[in-house]
Structure 1
Amino acid sequence: MTTDEKKLLQAKHRLEETEMRDRQKERKARTRRLIQEGAILEKVFPSVVSLNLDELEDFLCGLRR
């Protein structure tokens, strides 16, 4: 493997690592947002804590009507 090939491979790996870190940051931000939104939902509608996902979806869709 030549020096240029090694440099190219290293650059490719650095780019992949950067993209992976960015995806991880996005996932963490999404997870945080979903948790915060869920907490607000439970605060405003305490009864939703006892609902399963289908019941919660029906409840929220009913609010939209």
Structure 2
Amino acid sequence: MTENEKKLLQAKHRLEEAEMRDRQKERKARTRRLVQEGAILEKALPQTTQMTLEQLEDFLCEVFKPIR
């Protein structure tokens, strides 16, 4: 393997690592946002804490159903 091939491979690996870090940051930011939104939902509608996910989805779909 030539020196240029080694450098190219190293650059490729550095780019892949940077992309992985970016994806991980995005995942953590999304998780944080979802947790915060869930906390707001529970604070605004305390009865939702006793619901299953399916019940919560049905409830929210019914409450926010578009008027036709």
Scaled by the length of structure 2, what TM-score is found? 0.93
Q: Does 1:56 align with 2:56?
A: yes
Structure 1: 5+ residue stretches without partners: none
Structure 2: 5+ residue stretches without partners: none
Q: Deviations over 1:28-54 (max 9, x none)?
A: 000000000000000000010010011
| Count of residues in correspondence between the two structures | 65
Higher helix share: 1
Q: Does 1:38 align with 2:19?
A: no
* Match in the other structure for 2:11: 11
Q: Distance in 1 between matches of 2:43 and 2:54?
A: 19
AA in 1 matched with 2:47: S
